[in-house]
Amino acid sequence: MGATWSIARAAVRRRRGQTVLIGVIVTLCTAALLIGIALLAAVTGPFDRTFAQLHGAHATVLYDSTKITDDRVGATAQADGVVAASGPFPMASAQLQNGMQMGAGPMRIAGRAEPGGGADQLRLTHGRWATATGEIVVGTHLRWGPDPGRILGRTYTLPNLGTATVVGVAYSVTQSADAWMRPDDVRRIGATSTQMLYRFAPESAATAAHLEQRLAAVTAGVPTDAVAGTGDYLTNRERAGQRAKTLSSFLTVFAVLSLIVAVLVIGNVVSGAVIAGYRSIGVLKAIGFTPGQVTAVYLLMMTGPALIGCAVGAVLGNLGTSWLLEQFQNNVYVLGLDTTPSPVLTVAVLVAVPVLVAVTALVPALRAGRTTATAALSAVASPTGRGRAVQRLLSRSRLPRAVSLGLALPVVRPARTLLTLLAVVLGSATVVFSIGLTESAGRWNDALVRADHVQVQVMNPPPGGPTEVEGEARRQPEGTRMTDPEVEAFVRGIPGARYVTTLFYGDAAVAGITENVDLNAYRGDSAQLGYEILEGRWISGAGEAAVGAEVLRLTGKSIGDSLTLTVEGRTVVVRIVGEIFGVHSEVYLDWASVSFMEPRMPVYFVGLSPGTTADRFIEQVAGGGDAGLIATTPDDDEIDMAVLLSVVGALTAALLVVAGLGVAHTAVLNTRERRRDLAIVKSVGMTPAQAAVMVVTSMAALGILGGVLGLPGGVAAQRQIIQLIGEAAGTRLPQGIVDVYTAPQLAVLLLSGVLIAVLSALLPARQAARISTAEALHTE
């Protein structure tokens, strides 16, 4: 073992460039692997996992506290089929004023002494639990934006209690309440009901029918009028599933592609390194190394740096994972992920990656062991027949000599070239795919937010409410209220308003749809609002309606048909002129169609003229009066773009580096193997610059070919996945979201691929240029 070990160690030390390269590639691959798998695991069936972890409540029952005692409620935990329960908790409903909750009504505040319990354990994501009077913990599902920690310490007014300070943010897997305080505090606010949370044996609570049975058993001995309401976990589960499906289909494709690239590059680098040391094999055998020992030397040489890389990668991967999971946690609020990276996964990767490296190294290492000494000793890197033919062909072309020699380089080692090419192809496909998908997601988001069209929205809330509002929002002081026409005139009067369109919300009954549909009636130029049309057109006046897909599906109508709405008791008949993307059971009308409607809380959408910024406009609204108007920018993270972007960005960068290193390694090996040839051509007059051009040319050719071959694959993958995401989200997609690539964009991508290949080849090219003829010929 001693001799084997010392040879391997010497090789690792002396070939520092190669060792570092392998180390870095393995580091990046390990980190990417960990992050990819952790994210995949996080978005695959997260609800069920979290539900199990946190002992989620299968059902919630609200009891009327005036009709039943807490003791009696607590006793329901003994009912047939109940495995565990939490409660009774006093429940109050109160307006906790803040910008996010504006207009959304009162919050459900539960009185819980501690976050644990038999059912629905709460996970504190920020801060601590409420232990003193006047402390409140709020639910993550209220969407506090990318940094929920910032709301800690904020104070709000609550009826009968005075102020409440936010001391924590907590996640409830079934969102059993919006906020939690000490039970006494909740009673003081005015609790009217008592909450009880139940867990059943999972198999006895799988369907709505099951749950109905279980609830019947729980409430069997309770007076019927004491039950104020019931709920179950199925709705939350469905919502979480939808969101996870969107993310996981994307991440799966991305992770799988990256993995293949990583494996290819590792395989290529490892086998390349073995081939590069081919001549030493003969020497080792001549002085008495057995085939097994030769194999061992090459295995050790590769696995040493790989182990170190793997360890570093595991650390980086875990850091990256917890950061990304935290981002997910804060944005994909319904998932409630556990943000600590899994040690099991880390260990698995720490074992799997070195094994992968060893297995990849094993094939060429075994071959090295089997090679006869005489063959290895006489092996001179000479062009194969194929290489010679290509070289002859190229030398007859009119290309400069250095370029034609360079083009012939990759042909000399077809297997290595093929592997590198494959890595470049997949790398290019992945980059094209992820850029395209990110663009699609961005356009999707734009279509929903319509940020280019509506830059500011102004609201005229009823008196009271927050003086301090969230984020970019500003509020006027409360003095004299304005009427609807006054507000519109005021907003129009502010310089920079290109258009002002007023939206009135309402609801309407539609034959064929059980629940009322949301009605959006616009006064002013609503075409400016930039709704994405799937089919047909936008409304152009009274008597027309644009609708969401759900309305068409449920009523069985199509564009051109008339639709009968019942609004505030009156019948309105409109003609459907278009289907709108991204909305469900909503109907869009011109205000003129329903002008009899009660104008409840209108929203004034403002498009700004060029040169006016939203911030400035908002300041002008806030400083322009004392009517209590609120001005804000539209909510702009409908589908968690920030997280998606950071994941894609980080993984794409890692992938590019890995692919680049793979190319660099191939160039290094090619150059090293051709050292003697290079020295010889230089001795007959090739300049160092020409030698460099030769090496760069060879890699640029690979870059172009790989890029071109990868493009269509990336485009196809993007189309497939965005369609899948559309299906998961239950909507058709407008062409604008599917077709995101433009020819110049693809050309730029291709060029950047070539650029990466060229950059990666620069270092070896410099080496080639520097090879001293005398030295290279002297060495052998």
Interface with other proteins by CB under 8 A: which residues?
Answer: 2-3, 6-7, 10-11, 13-15, 280, 282-293, 372-374, 377, 775, 778-780
Q: Round to whole Å and give the CA distance between 90 and 96.
A: 17
Question: Which amino acid is it at 366?
Answer: L
Task: Give the nearer residue to other proteins in terms of CB position, either 280 or 502.
Answer: 280
Residue 778: CB minimum distance to other proteins, A: 8
H or E stretch at 607: strand 603-608
End-to-end CA distance of the chain: 29
Residue 284: CB minimum distance to other proteins, A: 8
Residue 372: CB minimum distance to other proteins, A: 7
Contact 627, 487 (CB under 8 A): yes
Residue 678: CB minimum distance to other proteins, A: 16
Task: Give the nearer residue to other proteins in terms of CB position, either 13 or 537.
Answer: 13
How buried is residue 481: exposed, middle or buried, by Cβ count under 10 Å (0-12/13-18/19+)?
A: middle
Task: Give the nearer residue to other proteins in terms of CB position, either 39 or 284.
Answer: 284
**Hey, what are 222's tokens?**
């309770």
Task: Give the nearer residue to other proteins in terms of CB position, either 3 or 259.
Answer: 3
Q: What's the sign of the alpha-carbon dihedral 716, 722, 725, 727?
A: negative
Residue 433: CB minimum distance to other proteins, A: 42
Residue 378: CB minimum distance to other proteins, A: 9
Task: Give the nearer residue to other proteins in terms of CB position, either 385 or 610.
Answer: 385
Contact 758, 700 (CB under 8 A): yes
Task: Give the nearer residue to other proteins in terms of CB position, either 14 or 128.
Answer: 14
Task: Give the nearer residue to other proteins in terms of CB position, either 7 or 422.
Answer: 7
Residue 349: CB minimum distance to other proteins, A: 31
- Closest C-alpha to 241, from 81, 50, 449: 50
Residue 367: CB minimum distance to other proteins, A: 14
- Residue 68, SS3? coil
Give the residues across from 359 on adjacent strands. none
Q: Round to whole Å and give the CA distance between 144 and 127.
A: 14
Task: Give the nearer residue to other proteins in terms of CB position, either 286 or 352.
Answer: 286
Q: Round to whole Å and give the CA distance between 751 and 130.
A: 57
Query: Which position has the token pair 């049309």?
Result: 533
Residue 289: CB minimum distance to other proteins, A: 6
Residue 670: CB minimum distance to other proteins, A: 19
**Hey, what are 223's tokens?**
């007076």
Task: Give the nearer residue to other proteins in terms of CB position, either 3 or 513.
Answer: 3
Contact 28, 320 (CB under 8 A): no
Task: Give the nearer residue to other proteins in terms of CB position, either 642 or 777.
Answer: 777
Task: Give the nearer residue to other proteins in terms of CB position, either 289 or 741.
Answer: 289
Q: What is the CA radius of gyration of the chain?
A: 34
Q: Round to whole Å and give the CA distance between 616 and 329.
A: 33
Q: How far is CA 66 from the centre of its chain?
A: 47
Task: Give the nearer residue to other proteins in terms of CB position, either 17 or 291.
Answer: 291
Residue 382: CB minimum distance to other proteins, A: 16
Q: Which residues contact 582 (CB under 8 A, 6 or more apart)?
A: 444, 447, 448, 532, 731
Query: Which position has the token pair 């804060």?
Result: 330
Q: Round to whole Å and give the CA distance between 201 and 80.
A: 11
Q: Which residues contact 77 (CB under 8 A, 6 or more apart)?
A: 84, 85, 87, 118, 196, 198
Q: Which residues contact 201 (CB under 8 A, 6 or more apart)?
A: 81, 83
Count Cβ neighbours within 10 Å for each residue of 720-744 and write b for 16 or more, e otherwise: ebbeebbebbebebbeebbbbbeee
Residue 679: CB minimum distance to other proteins, A: 13
Report the half-sphere exposure of 182 (CA within 13 A, side-chain side).
13
